[in-house]
Amino acid sequence: MTVQEMPSTSVLKWRRDTALHEQLGEHYHELSELVQTLREGVVRASSVVENVNSRLRNYFFLRKEVGQGYLELLRFFLNHRRFLRSEHKDRVGKSPAELLNGQEHDHWLEILGYQLFDARA
């Protein structure tokens, strides 16, 4: 349990808080605020994990064993495949990788060295 999660009446909380303050010195308050901000942004719910599992389950149903190579390819695919639809209009047509670094990239198959088939040509 972190110091910030302990009740303010806890003697252990204040011992640990004092030890952290002595260890971190002038950086204590800034780091304490950053930790609090991070804690507020963390979603602690099994529904998030279940959502991820339900999305990934479709990629595993044909395989008895999932190796590291398959997981790396799947990660690459999911990070570079562009969103066809989203509740957020600014995400449509962009991949998670593009949203993260703000730079457009080629189609994920082209990044892997394949040439896209153009039926119009």
Percent of the chain with pLDDT over 90: 16
Mean pLDDT, the chain, rounded, equals 86
Q: What is the pTM of this model?
A: 0.52
Distances (CA, A) of 63 to 66, 68, 77, 103: 6, 13, 17, 34
Compute the C-alpha angle 112/115/119, nearest 5°.
140
**Please, which pLDDT band fits residue 99 given cuts at 50, 70 and 90?**
very high
Domain boundaries in the chain?
Answer: 10-41, 46-111
Burial 76-100 (b: 16+ CB within 10 A, else e): eeeebebeeeeeeeeeeebbebbee
Tokens standing for 41?
A: 């942004």
Distance CA 33, CA 24 (A): 13
Report whether pLDDT(42) > 90: no
> Who has greater pLDDT, 103 or 4?
103
